[in-house]
Structure 1
């Protein structure tokens, strides 16, 4: 990952600011903002590179339809189909990760108590296997945005009303969390027991969160707030162990470098600018 705070805060980014950053990025990058050039890039044939090999990025198709080919500013092919250059962003390191919402109402206390009760079994299971713990957190963190976006989508259809942009914001949040998972998978391969735990936890959490959202969307979002707070605490412990040398500081994977617009060579832990 990138900087210390980016490691903690990337999941807490406001989706609306992400949309604004994407718009600014499009305006500042003519190749990406020009639809015609993107279309031409998708239609041009592959040209052999210096080594005589095809320089196109590997593509995956859906029902036999290959996605449009996109290239970087330097003309090299964009290697990722799960996200495009205009969907990347730089982490907002100005967010106060120590901010805490005091639980005063019965609903808030229930949300806080639920999250506190759930954190201990996972910490006991993973101990100091931080990356595997992070993978579990990300599979859970990617659920609320999808559930919330789905519920608002159906509500908009039922009531014939606008959503105020929150459907897209919540779905983007779910996608952002999924990209965190894809990043951690690049640096660690989970064991079968950890994969089984992820399947079980995701199944239980999805249905429980869906039920909570039906009862009270406010309660559901408050649970997410406290859940993200615990995730920041978990990543802080991860960073402290990196600084102590208890965990190997691995190179940032290529998918993280492109998604967070990092310099070509970065480590999991870097000093603040």
Structure 2
């Protein structure tokens, strides 16, 4: 859950930076602003879902505020210095998220974690069937993380080739 609290930061930061750049330069973003903000929203929904499952305590919520504050500023500085590095870093973090959710799924399948009913927020957001369970949620979240990984590695590759994000077509959407 703690990782999900900062996972929405990169999309929001990158989307905001590109939004402001677009306004200053009177340029289109090629769909990247929307894609990055959708990534941030999707990550926020991961957090909202897992908060329903785990019910964090007050001190965990306080830790979230501290971690987000530090990570937001560090990521903003990184993104302003090098969007290529920032996107690559997120791509690697998302790869770790895919691995973590794979392990989570294995523990669910092995019975180490109870496969409880999926929270209503997850059923609504991912349009899961009424009888969906935590396993179903973990599968769709893992797929989201794989998509975020691919989008961020692609964004970094574009910067590696010397192109700005606005010069290419928008990535595939999230839903």
TM-score normalized by the length of structure 2: 0.74
Greater than 3 Å deviation, 4+ residue runs: none
Which stretch has the larger CA shift, 165-174 or 206-215?
165-174
Residue 242 of structure 1, CA deviation: 1.2
Higher helix share: 2
Whether 1:185 and 2:48 are equivalent positions in the alignment is: no
Partner of 2:105: 239
Whether 1:168 and 2:25 are equivalent positions in the alignment is: no
Note the alpha carbon deviations across 1:70-106, whole angstroms, 9 max, x for none: xxxxxxxxxxxxxxxxxxxxxxxxxxxxxxxxxxxxx
Residue 247 of structure 1, CA deviation: 1.1
C-alpha distance in 1 between matches for 2:73 and 2:57:
25
C-alpha distance in 2 between matches for 1:255 and 1:165:
27
Matches within 5 A, 1:57-96: none
C-alpha distance in 1 between matches for 2:61 and 2:5:
11
1:217 to 60, 78, 83: 83
Whether 1:226 and 2:88 are equivalent positions in the alignment is: no
Partner of 1:201: 67
C-alpha distance in 2 between matches for 1:245 and 1:169:
36
Note the alpha carbon deviations across 1:89-132, whole angstroms, 9 max, x for none: xxxxxxxxxxxxxxxxxxxxxxxxxxxxxxxxxxxxxxxxxxxx
Partner of 2:127: 261
Gap runs ≥5 in structure 2: 140-175
Q: Specify the SS of the correspondent of 1:269.
A: helix
Partner of 2:149: none
Gap runs ≥5 in structure 1: 1-134
C-alpha distance in 2 between matches for 1:162 and 1:269:
40
Matches within 5 A, 1:94-105: none
Larger radius of gyration: 1
Matches within 5 A, 1:107-118: none
Residue 196 of structure 1, CA deviation: 2.5
Whether 1:144 and 2:40 are equivalent positions in the alignment is: no
C-alpha distance in 1 between matches for 2:24 and 2:116:
49
Residue 230 of structure 1, CA deviation: 0.8
Q: Specify the SS of the correspondent of 1:190.
A: coil
C-alpha distance in 2 between matches for 1:259 and 1:195:
23
Partner of 2:19: 153
Partner of 1:107: none
Note the alpha carbon deviations across 1:9-63, whole angstroms, 9 max, x for none: xxxxxxxxxxxxxxxxxxxxxxxxxxxxxxxxxxxxxxxxxxxxxxxxxxxxxxx
TM-score normalized by the length of structure 1: 0.48
C-alpha distance in 2 between matches for 1:175 and 1:181:
10
Residue 197 of structure 1, CA deviation: 2.2
C-alpha distance in 1 between matches for 2:23 and 2:68:
27
